Amino acid sequence: DGGITQSPKYLFRKEGQNVTLSCEQNLNHDAMYWYRQDPGQGLRLIYYSQIVNDFQKGDIAEGYSVSREKKESFPLTVTSAQKNPTAFYLCASSIDLSPDTQYFGPGTRLTVL
- Judged by CB, which is closer to other proteins: 36, or 85? 36
Query: Alpha-carbon distance 71 to 31, whole Å?
Result: 9
Cis preceding linkage at 8, omega within 30? yes
Q: What's the min distance (Å) between Cβ of 16 and other proteins?
A: 27
Q: What's the min distance (Å) between Cβ of 65 and other proteins?
A: 20
Q: What's the min distance (Å) between Cβ of 42 and other proteins?
A: 3
Q: What's the min distance (Å) between Cβ of 43 and other proteins?
A: 5
- Judged by CB, which is closer to other proteins: 44, or 71? 44
Phi-psi region of 107 (alpha: psi -120 to 50; beta: other; left: phi over 0): left
Interface residue list for other proteins (CB under 8 A): 4, 6, 31, 33, 40-45, 48, 50, 58, 88, 90, 92, 94, 97-99, 101-107, 109
